Amino acid sequence: MNSSMPGLSTALLTDMYELTMLQAALADGTANRQVAFEVFARKLPNERRYGVVAGTARVLEAIENFRFTPEQLGTLSFLNARTLEFLRDFRFSGQVDGYREGELYFPNSPILTVRGTFAECVILETVILSIMNADSAVAAAAARMVTAAAGRPILEMGSRRTNEYAAVTAARAAYLGGFMGTSNLEAAHRYGIPVSGTSAHAWTLLHIAEDGQPDELGAFRSQVEAFGTGTTLLVDTYDISQGVANAVAAAGPELGAVRIDSGDLGVMTHLVRQQLDALGAYNTKIVVSSDLDEFTIGALRSDPVDSFGVGTSVVTGSGAPTPGMVYKLVEVNGYPVAKRSRNKTMTGGAKKGLRSYRTTGTAIEEIVIPLNDAIPDLGTAEVKELTIPLIREGKILPNLPTLEESRAHLAAQLVTLPWEGLALSRNEPAISTRFIGFSQALA
């Protein structure tokens, strides 16, 4: 099931304890207390320099579709009649504010704030976190790869490395992160993402001569006949050098591209470029794939690669499958509350995020203040408010950023980071986070 499919109930995309807490709250009279829950990450995974907010639009749709059907209620035998009656008519009626999709975040940034009664806010925890943790992991990995590619396009092609529904949403998150498109047709259909793809090794292997010998040239000629000389031919099924020769023989010097999916890519791309040029195919591009991540992409920066195809690493977050976002109660009836466990400290109270910038446009720091406070005067630094309203009285606000707008916003925000903030190596966050106006100190 995909939580962003309009009209499809998301109510059971949750953990049992959300509903047992609801039942207890209805029993002891705390269900109607006005509260604020906050989504944030205490740290960045793998000592990365920044995080990317992704999945916000899908979260809003999931909240809107969080409605129990009679069939779903029939499976909740552990609940009493009062709780089932509450869920039968449930509609979220509260407020949601947060960072726009495509925004950068840092440790303790107030990424999303959900306000309303305890009963209606607590049961949204699991679906919100499952979407934002998964999508933000993919988007951050994609953004790092785009930086490593230094302007060369990257195609997402990881559908076969995750489950069928996660493949669709991962493609969306990768596109948000700056990838040029996807191989996944459902993602292209649902989100309007550019789609691309030509052939696999099976196509070349399919073609054999009457004597049973490989007929790579015949495979290439058939593909060119079907899709034109602008197609991409996969040249590493057998011998790459012969594959390149067959590709140009089949399509001529105007062949669109060749793809290499194995071997020492750095060495092979130089040899293939020399061979293409010698055959007069000066404009034929070289596409590489084969278990790429941001580090291997970065290592190919000086090699004659025109574009990349990335699968496993991007859809799994490239070593960080979750950014560790949490959904914590921070305010009850106007009073700040906070968990004080060791290594899991937090600051109570509903919040909003700001970011300060130098006159050059370079980000200085993340600033967190109480949600209803005015923006403080920070002298010469320019301050931008990051928190925007997303839902009011249970209704998604109109004119929120589109996927294309969020994608462009992320690209623009990455440019604002200090130069070391785009490094792929482990280190401190690109900018620090400072809390202003809270009585509780952040440990």
pLDDT digits (tens, 9 = 90+) for 85-139: 999 999 999 999 999 999 999 999 999 999 999 999 999 999 999 999 999 999 9
CB atoms within 10 A of CB 210: 6
Q: What is the CATH number of domain 16-138+323-435?
A: 3.20.140.10
pTM for the model stands at: 0.95
What local confidence, expressed as pLDDT, does residue 7 receive? Answer: 60
pLDDT at 2 over 60: no
For residue 345, what pLDDT band results from cuts at 50, 70 and 90?
confident
Average pLDDT across the chain, whole number: 95
For residue 442, what pLDDT band results from cuts at 50, 70 and 90?
very low
pLDDT at 233 over 80: yes
What local confidence, expressed as pLDDT, does residue 443 receive? Answer: 35
CB atoms within 10 A of CB 153: 17
**Measured CA distances, 232 to 227, 257, 289, 386 (Å):** 9, 4, 13, 42
Average pLDDT over residues 39-68: 97
Domain boundaries, given as residue ranges, for the chain:
16-138+323-435, 141-315
Average pLDDT over residues 4-13: 78
What local confidence, expressed as pLDDT, does residue 439 receive? Answer: 78
What is the spatial distance between Cα 134 and Cα 321, in angstroms, rounded to a whole number?
Answer: 7
pLDDT at 77 over 50: yes
**Nearest 5°: phi and psi at 379?**
75, -125
Percent of the chain surpassing pLDDT 70: 98
What is the spatial distance between Cα 111 and Cα 393, in angstroms, rounded to a whole number?
Answer: 20
Q: Which residues sit opposite 35 in a β-bridge?
A: 116, 332
Average pLDDT over residues 34-45: 97
What is the spatial distance between Cα 218 and Cα 2, in angstroms, rounded to a whole number?
Answer: 41
What is the spatial distance between Cα 398 and Cα 412, in angstroms, rounded to a whole number?
Answer: 23
pLDDT digits (tens, 9 = 90+) for 403-441: 999 999 999 999 999 999 999 999 999 999 999 999 754
Say which CATH topology domain 141-315 has. Answer: TIM Barrel (3.20.20)
Is-contact 323 45, C-beta < 8 A?
A: yes
For residue 1, what pLDDT band results from cuts at 50, 70 and 90?
very low
Is-contact 235 247, C-beta < 8 A?
A: yes
The angle at the Cα of 350, spanning 344 to 355, to the nearest 5 degrees, equals: 85
Average pLDDT over residues 383-387: 97
- DSSP letter, residue 123: T
What local confidence, expressed as pLDDT, does residue 441 receive? Answer: 44
pLDDT digits (tens, 9 = 90+) for 300-323: 999 999 999 999 999 999 999 999
**Nearest 5°: phi and psi at 208?**
-130, 155
Alpha helices in 29-124, H assignment, sequence order? 56-64, 70-73, 81-88, 118-122
pLDDT digits (tens, 9 = 90+) for 367-381: 999 999 999 998 888
pLDDT digits (tens, 9 = 90+) for 52-63: 999 999 999 999
pLDDT digits (tens, 9 = 90+) for 160-195: 999 999 999 999 999 999 999 999 999 999 999 999
pLDDT at 366 over 50: yes
What local confidence, expressed as pLDDT, does residue 48 receive? Answer: 96
What local confidence, expressed as pLDDT, does residue 185 receive? Answer: 98
pLDDT at 5 over 60: no
CB atoms within 10 A of CB 8: 13
For residue 4, what pLDDT band results from cuts at 50, 70 and 90?
very low
Is-contact 220 255, C-beta < 8 A?
A: no
User: Per the structure block, which two tokens stand in for 174?
Assistant: 């990768």
